[in-house]
Amino acid sequence: MNHFLTFWRKLTNIGVHSDMSYVDIKRVHMVNLISLLCLLPTIFFAIVNLIDHRYVLSVINFSNSLCASTVLLLQYYGKNNSAKATLLISNSVFFFAGALLYKNGGEYFLMCTLIVSMLMYDNRRVHISLCITVAFLISLLYLIPDILPAVQQVPKSRSVFNIINA
């Protein structure tokens, strides 16, 4: 168990430097934690969706995994602002695409993205622009008719699972 905790601490401390402020260290930890927690489920669902012949959703999930890995790599090289932007933008795009095409409850993940963005940035303009963007995207999800037939959408149980996870 100690080996796992040591490994976990190393992963969550990627990009942390001794000259950072306490708040910046906590933000780096948060970005790392979100990226790490996104990796395994998105890889798992990429495989599940591939098996279920939902190829586009599988690509969306796999792409989200790649972006989470990219965020960790950016953190490692000290590109914290790029890592934050990559995390927020990629997650927003992939959650919106999954929700639009497959009705998988991705709008709740969009809300989580909005909340996380408020913790990552102090700038009110960033908060307002992201709030407007997320509200617009969620509105689109309810205004645009279903693109795929109901049989191709994910089962309700998976939507409920995603909502609970969000």
**Mean pLDDT (whole number) for 118-129:** 92
Lowest mean pLDDT of 16-25, 115-124, 140-149, name the range: 140-149
CB 98 within 8 A of CB 46: no
State residue 157's pLDDT score.
82
What is the C-alpha to C-alpha distance for residues 81 and 78, in angstroms, rounded to an integer?
9
State residue 55's pLDDT score.
93
Q: Mark out the alpha helices in the chain (DSSP H runs).
A: 2-12, 22-51, 55-76, 80-102, 106-120, 124-143, 156-165
